[in-house]
Amino acid sequence: MRVYPTFFKLAFSWMDAEKAHKIGFQAIRYAHRSGAGRVLAKMTAPHPSLRTEAFGLTFPSPFGLAAGFDKEGHGIEALAELGFGHVEVGTITGQAQPGNEKPRLFRLIEDKAVINRMGFNNDGAAAVAPRLKAARAALQRTHSGVRPVIGVNIGKTKVVELDDAVEDYLVSARNLAPAADYLVVNVSSPNTPGLRLLQNVETLRPLLRAVGDAADESAGRHVPLLVKIAPDLSDEDIDDVARLALDLKLDGIIATNTTIGREGLTSDPDKVEACGAGGLSGAPLKGRSLEVLRRLKAAVGEGLVLIAVGGVQSAADVQERLDAGATLVQGYTAFLYEGPFWAAGINRALAKRRSQASPLSRGTSI
């Protein structure tokens, strides 16, 4: 497994980050199409001891892939074959959009971090919906027991004014909810102008209520609804969001998105400044995302599912988040640095920990 960092250094570290991502993702998808992924899946499948219950669903593992890697639902099956317990697709918007101008993705290799200002580049909800439906049906066919879960992350179309944001989110909810196992309202990306203003509870309340109603009506069932928040919120704002989520009876909160901060980096300051604006993800986010998780847990107790993301690199990081109150954990940035067997390695280490623990300490559910 440690061979990949050397391969990354030789093959990808010198390449434009977005181009390298595209090549790597194409390789993963090709492995699936060629049939190699099915063979691989037998080796990467999470151990049954890792099964986790959350908002009425059974996840093969508590560890999944965060939104941002597969923005348009092109590789859900392929990514599931790598051992992820769930794959969160998106962020998807009501209208198709190209995203921000390139270059818009930058690596800080010394920090195992990434700065991005992608800008929700995607094909739009109507185009992505059939892919989700097909992927869900395929996973149901290939998994006789517990299948990987599909999450769908939705955001605001850039050209839509904030006053019209609710209706824009509803376009996505109505199109995507029928094929989604759970739905996430993203109001915390720093790369869509004004989006983070929607985290204010006064504007967030009607948005979440409307999206939840539309999703359930469109799907003909309850679709678990979560909101994803930024690590840059003040502690008071975090508490407000927690109270709102409880009041609206949301199913969960995802903590956290990328940060606009640049504190604690070891990379050359000039290099960091040259990257420009965007959200920082990866190892430097670990401390703050963990703080937010613990604050949320203190506020919501057992009332909500908490999904932890931000700075997760190892099985120890995953376990730390579970111990701090998360039911599920996601990663993304470390995937770029650790390679295709990253999730499988984390799952093996988690299963080993559980096999060494007492029966009473195994499992995480809510």
Q: Tell me the catalytic residues.
A: 189
Residue 365: partners with Cβ closer than 8 Å, 6 or more residues away? 52, 53, 54, 327
Residue 52: cis peptide before it, omega within 30 degrees of 0: no
CB atoms within 10 A of CB 86: 28
**Tokens (6 digits) for 352:** 């080993």
Tokens 């700075």 belong to 311
Tokens 């102008």 belong to 193
Burial code (b: 16+ CB inside 10 Å, e: under 16) for 273-297 equals: eebeebbbbbbbbbebbbbbbbbbb
**Tokens (6 digits) for 207:** 């948005």
**E-only strand ranges, the chain:** 52-54, 57-59, 63-65, 86-92, 105-108, 113-116, 149-154, 182-186, 225-229, 252-255, 279-282, 305-309, 328-331
